[in-house]
Amino acid sequence: MASKYDHISDQLHEFREKNIYRELLTSQIKNNKFYLGNKKVINLCSNDYLGLSRNRSVLSKMRDSLTQVSPCSSRLVSGNNINIIKLERILATHRSSENALVYPTGYMANLGVITAISSSKHTIFSDSLNHSSIIDACRLAKPNKIKIFPHNDPDHLERLLKKSTAKKIIVTEGIFSMDGDMARLDQLSELAKKHDSILILDDAHSDFVFGKVGNFGGTPEHFGIENDIDIHISSLSKGLGCFGGYVASSKLITDLLVNKSRQFIYTSAIPEHLCLAAIAAFAFLKKNKNIQKKFFRKIKWFIQQLKQLGFNIGLTSSHIIPIIIGNEKVTSNFSKELFQKGIFIQAIRYPTVSFGKARLRISLNMSIQQSHLNYVINCLDKLGRKYNLI
């Protein structure tokens, strides 16, 4: 007998057949150790790159400031909390911008900015490997056209820009979330100037990690073009180890967002204690500038180990390190065997990456001990040989 849910059952069956079915895993932290189910594991899936989400001074500041769970309303309706304003001033300076605006998440910030900025007179030029939040934002924005340029290919982008007579928006990630490679931001900046384009940067995975020593200003600082980005979009929940997203730009742009961005206007404000946690985490980084050098030494060592073993890790030079396997089933099985050995590295498959581009996505972070990393390399070596990947 037919059911009104047949199409749903069919889709889930298809996901299983293609080895792209997903399940939520139960996790918890006990005695500062990470558990999946009842199994203690080395967590190589966290975006808490500098380990600040468990920092004692940050946690203490947040606990001491907890007077209200949530403002339970939007900032335009219930008022603009003084500590949100303080955080936004810090973030604006951090990104060499006039203003900043905090959103509940980085995903909402991407949606909010791109839908508010673009119009039917615009063509959006988007890198082919941009994050899903950028892809969704472009679709929601309904510009005149969306042009996808091949990943990290400024020459192809310039050919597209030359052909276009529309108003132009270029959007890219700083460090790409599934490949760990860096955008050619210096070249994109020059193209934006040459073709009078708005340049939007989603720098979520580089912010508070890359940049000048002790300043942590992300990929724009890495290339020395801090003032050449029109709109910075980023996250507070990765390098800073907190929660939320933000936009840094001119006062003109942030004024427009306050008045037009539905993702800002029609949602509750970020809670005050999370703002204070972010302020405390930023202050900790400013006082502990060596954390950056220590982290990059760890990244360099780990990448060298994987290269020596012969894994395909693409062009990454960052803390996001993909072991590109290709086959979805092999990737899932590899991940499951690592889990049995107490190592949590998630299998990333379609639609996050293209079919045939499945991978293990490793996120290095400062919380992982060197002895644990040695153990991970040893296990990857043995399983890589078992699966004929090295």
pLDDT in tens, 102-133: 999 999 999 999 999 999 999 999 999 999 99
**Please, what is the average pLDDT of the chain?**
95
| pLDDT at site 142 | 85
Report the topology of domain 6-40+290-386. Answer: Aspartate Aminotransferase, domain 1 (3.90.1150)
pLDDT tens-digit series, residues 289-298? 899 999 999 9
Domain ranges of the chain: 6-40+290-386, 56-287
Compute the C-alpha angle 61/62/64, nearest 5°.
65
User: Is CATH 1.20.1090.10 the classification given to domain 56-287?
Assistant: no
| pLDDT at site 31 | 83
Once rounded to an integer, what is the mean pLDDT over residues 258-277?
A: 96
User: Is there a contact between 58 and 284 (Cβ–Cβ < 8 Å)?
Assistant: yes
CA distances from 27 to 39, 245, 304 (A): 9, 24, 30
Q: Are 6-40+290-386 and 56-287 equal in CATH topology?
A: no
Distance CA 317, CA 321 (A): 8
| pLDDT at site 13 | 95
pLDDT tens-digit series, residues 322-359? 999 999 999 999 999 999 999 999 999 999 999 999 99
**pLDDT above 90 coverage of the chain, percent:** 92
| pLDDT at site 297 | 96
Does 66 score more than 90 pLDDT?
no
Once rounded to an integer, what is the mean pLDDT over residues 312-323?
A: 97
Does 16 score more than 80 pLDDT?
yes
Upper half-sphere CA count for residue 315 (Cβ side, 13 Å): 8
Does 1 score more than 80 pLDDT?
no
